[in-house]
Amino acid sequence: MKKLMALLLVLTMAMSVASAFADDAKVLHFGEINPKVGYDPQTNTNSRATTIEECVVEGLYFWNDQNEEIPVLAKDFPTISEDGLVYTFSLREGVYFSNGTELTSEDVKYTFERMFTPATGALSTYMYNMIAGAKEMLAGEATELSGFEIVDKYTFKITLTQPFSCFTKNLGIVYAAIFPKDACEAAGSDWGIGTLVGTGPYILGEHDNSSVTLNKNPNYWGSEPHFDQIIVTLFDDENTKLLAFENGDLDLCQVPTDLYLQYQGTETANKFHIYYPLGTVFLSLNLSEEFNGEKNPLADVKVREAISMAIDRETLVEFIDNGLGTVATGTVNPAQLGFVQREAYPYDPDGAKALLAEAGYPDGVSFTAQIRSTDQPDMVQIQSDLAAAGIDMKLELVDAATWTSLRNAGNAQCEWMGWFPLYADPDNNIYSYFHSSNAPGKSVFYNNPEFDALMDAARISTDDEERGDLYAQADEIMSRQDYACIPLYYPNYVFAAQDYVTNFTVGNLIYQICYDVDFK
């Protein structure tokens, strides 16, 4: 009996110590929609997973929430040879991964070689495949990256096959996060699933399909993380996520546009904050001459201009998107390099009809938009606008997988698209979408040598002022003369934050919860 009492006493004490620790721990509860992918930044590009990955792994550089690039694992920005081909990097010394191994040039080399090994299935190789030897590795013709030279433990050189002014910018995206060679090799296919080790401020703790626990990295090389733990609760339903916020279970979470209005006038709405990410919402059009074996009216620039004229963007933003956006005047976002304040696109249904007649379609045109359920509110409104101008846009509702396949195979005719760059440079979103070398994979088929030449020139130039001019000209041609897409609006993000949450802001697609955010 005495033994039992003693055991109970010890247990009680242990529990009270544990609960005291739990009570004192500073924990950020963040609500997120379940990304349903692993957490290997090389094999997924899901922005919701990226938010979590960025707490654990770091790259050579980092784009912060003010859209500034800062050196992280690199000591400084690289020195670049005069021909723009050879980059020399110096690593920050004395940085350790959370498993206790020191970061060296070997880890960086390993990370890039893993990325270009076909079996890895890395998704973002297009951002880094200008490194010499990358294409050979991707083709399975080489197992070593010839353009990567280790100078010493903390210094390495990367040689490119062609000058590329955004190379360092691309290194600031988490897709180029540096992994510890030994741990990553040992984890094998479990990397990003059960195991993820990095130099970041938090260590991946218990995680499953319901939540992810991130524990403070006590040996973090940078300034001390603000929280002992970040617990990311994963939801499948936006409504439930907001109920959890209202219930006080969450400190911070994103608010979807369609639920924003529902909360207006409530106390919760006072905790909503609006942010301006870098993206643009547009109608993506297939410009090929034929579609499904028939003449494609969208190949005619006058038809595309008529579509633009027929859409009432003000109404779309105000009533369908609850005012959460700014009417677009081009595809480059106001916060991006190369943005020029232009006049609004005219809204003129009669003018649209006249343009159609001029294009040889006096009785109007007909085409089909392939849409997902989430695209429906905007697209139904646009359909009604277009109908008033004699343009029959049929809506074909498909599931997300079918939609992606149709689009990638070049078999989509028109889609609603929200396209966000990862940093404030149009190379990351305009080049990747509209340059003729990329356009077919998006069912776009835009091919204007003048536009391509401007985009290519901007890739080589290292002068940001000149690059801004080149992008402004390219956007003018693409969005205002060729109507290669129909820009609609620059969307907003809304987040709900409890009153005691401070220093949270959103600069680009990926929101950061592990650096500045704190409690009052």
Q: By the criterion CB under 8 A, which residues form the site for another protein? A: 36-38, 43, 45, 118-119, 121, 123-126, 138-140, 189, 192-193, 208-211, 233-237, 239-240, 243-244, 246-247, 249, 398-402, 404-409, 432, 438, 441-442
Contact 176, 53 (CB under 8 A): no
CA distance 336 to 403: 28
Angle between helices 301-310 and 349-358 (to 10 degrees): 170
Q: Output 55 or 127, the one with its CB closest to another protein.
A: 127
The angle subtended at Cα 99 by Cα 97 and Cα 102, nearest 5°, is 40
Judged by beta carbon, residue 408 or residue 462, the one nearer another protein is: 408
Nearer to another protein (CB atom), residue 249 or residue 312: 249
Q: What pairing do the DSSP bridges indicate for beta strands 252-255 and 27-33?
A: parallel
In this structure, what are the phi and psi dihedrals at residue 168, rounded to the nearest 5 degrees? -65, -35
For the bound state, the minimum distance from the C-beta of residue 12 to another protein, rounded and expressed in Å, comes to 20
Cβ distance to another protein smaller for residue 86 or 123: 123
Of 231 and 391, nearer to another protein (C-beta) is 231
Q: Could you tell me the smallest distance in angstroms from the CB atom of residue 269 to another protein?
A: 16
Tokens of 413: 């005719």
DSSP 8-state code for residue 346: P
Backbone φ and ψ of 62, nearest 5°: -150, 135
Whether residue 260 contacts residue 272, with contact meaning beta carbons closer than 8 Å, is answered with yes
Q: How far is the CB of 404 from another protein (least distance, A)?
A: 6
Phi and psi based region of residue 514 (left: phi greater than 0; alpha: psi -120 to 50; beta: remaining)? alpha
294 membership: H or E segment, kind and range: strand 294-295
Nearer residue to another protein within complex by CB, 240 or 264: 240
List C-alpha distances in Å: 50 to 107, 120, 201, 402.
21, 18, 15, 24
Q: What is the DSSP string of 58-90?
A: --SEEE-TTS-EEESSBSSPPEE-TTS-EEEEE
Q: What is the closest distance, in whole angstroms, from the C-beta atom of residue 35 to another protein in the complex? A: 10
Whichever of 65 and 425 has its CB closer to another protein, that residue is 425
Shortest distance, position 29 Cβ to another protein, whole Å: 12
Identify which of residues 250 and 356 has a Cβ nearer to another protein in the complex.
250
Strand order in the sheet with 79-80: 79-80, 86-90, 155-159, 148-152
The nearest distance, CB 249 to another protein, in angstroms, is: 7
Pick the closest to residue 165 from 80, 107, 227, 74 (CA basis): 80
Q: Shortest gap between Cβ of 78 and another protein (angstroms)?
A: 24
Q: Please choose, from the candidates 435, 431, 446, the residue with its C-alpha nearest in 3D space to the C-alpha of residue 485.
A: 446
Q: Which is nearer to another protein, 406 or 457 (CB)?
A: 406
Residue 412 CA to its chain's centroid (Å):
22
Residue 208 vs 343, nearer CB to another protein: 208
Nearest distance, CB of residue 445 and another protein, angstroms: 14
Nearest distance, CB of residue 129 and another protein, angstroms? 10
**Alpha helices per DSSP H over 205-319:** 238-246, 257-260, 301-310, 313-315
User: Whose Cβ is closer to another protein: residue 43's or residue 336's?
Assistant: 43
Q: How many CA atoms lie within 13 A of 80 on its CB side?
A: 15
Looking at residue 219, its amino acid is N
Nearest distance, CB of residue 363 and another protein, angstroms:
32
> For another protein, which is the closer residue by CB, 234 or 309?
234
3-state SS string for 153-217: CCEEEEEECCCCCCHHHHHCCHHHCCCCHHHHHHHHHHECCCECCCCCCEEEEEECCCEEEEEEC
Nearer to another protein, 132 or 412 (CB): 412
What is the smallest separation between the CB atom of 440 and another protein, expressed in angstroms? 10
Smallest gap from residue 212 Cβ to another protein (A): 13
CA atoms within 13 A on the CB side of 264: 8
- The two tokens of residue 314 are 């003000």
Tokens describing residue 16? 């009270």
Q: Residue 167 CB, nearest distance to another protein (Å)?
A: 17
Is residue 238 classed exposed, middle or buried when 0-12, 13-18 and 19+ CB atoms within 10 A define those classes? Answer: middle
